[in-house]
Amino acid sequence: MDFDKYVLMHTSPEDTVLHELARATHLHAMQPRMLSGHLQGKLLEFISRMISPESILEIGTYTGYSAICLAKGLKQGGILHTIDKNDELRHIAEKFIEKSSVANKIKIYTGDALQIIPQMQNMFDLVFIDGDKREYSAYYSLVMTKVKKGAYIIADNVLWSGKVLSDIKPNDRHTAELAEFNDFVQSDSRVENLMLPVRDGMLIVRVL
């Protein structure tokens, strides 16, 4: 038995809607590995439940898996705002969000997060960054103006299949940006941070 299988065997099972969503993503979406998946999704759900946020911002909806997981931890009356540039997969996200138990807690936006976020009046307790890797530093700088003291920011894919550990090729903007982002957060005196080697790497940041 491999390590991943053992870990999943000792993790509470994936709920039915999320299981169906994962299957639909693999059947109908390009790059299904972008899906958060069961283990990371359960971790996001647990973090959200521990924080019990009133307002969550997600940058990068994809097919809605992580949005559903995060929304499960919202306080009564809380809202998760999720943004994605690509409208081609919105129908999948909407279908499965509607089937979930948190349909009334999720608001979907289509467009550029860097343009949409400044128009929001919300202050967020929890932010999940999983959008265009080349814009992570820009997202971070922007959301730091939209988070409460003690809020948490989670950035996904910060290990980038291990590429951030190697010499970065000049034309590899995704890896270069992620490495720069990781270094910037590490040196940011406004926060404390923890990097976890879960899936493709998750950076958890607490705003001081």
* Tens digit of each residue's pLDDT (9 = 90 or more) over 105-119: 999 999 999 999 999
CA nearest to 154, candidates 187, 113, 120, 195: 195
What pLDDT is stored for residue 166 in this prediction? 85
Element spanning 51, H or E: helix 37-51
Checking if the pLDDT of 66 tops 90, the result is: yes
- Number of domain units in the chain: 1
The CA distance from 122 to 8, in Å, is 36
Burial label for 4, CB within 10 Å (0-12, 13-18, 19+), is exposed
Q: What is the CATH number of the domain that holds 98?
A: 3.40.50.150
The CA distance from 10 to 13, in Å, is 9
Domain with 99, as residue range(s), is 3-207
Element spanning 157, H or E: none
The CA distance from 65 to 97, in Å, is 8
Mean pLDDT, rounded, for 41-62: 98
pTM (predicted TM-score): 0.96
Q: How confident is the model at residue 169 (pLDDT cuts 50, 70, 90)?
A: confident
For residue 114, give every residue at least 6 positions away whose Cβ sits within 8 Å of its Cβ, in sequence order, or none. Answer: 135, 138, 139, 142
**Residue 65, amino acid:** Y
Any idea which residue has 């973090």 for tokens? 47
Checking if the pLDDT of 170 tops 90, the result is: no
For residues 89-114, one letter each, b for 16 or more C-beta atoms within 10 angstroms of the residue's C-beta and e for the rest, the string is bbebbbbbbeebebeebbebbeeebb
Lowest pLDDT segment from 54-63, 64-73, 110-119, 160-169: 160-169
* Tens digit of each residue's pLDDT (9 = 90 or more) over 5-34: 999 999 999 999 999 999 999 999 888 889
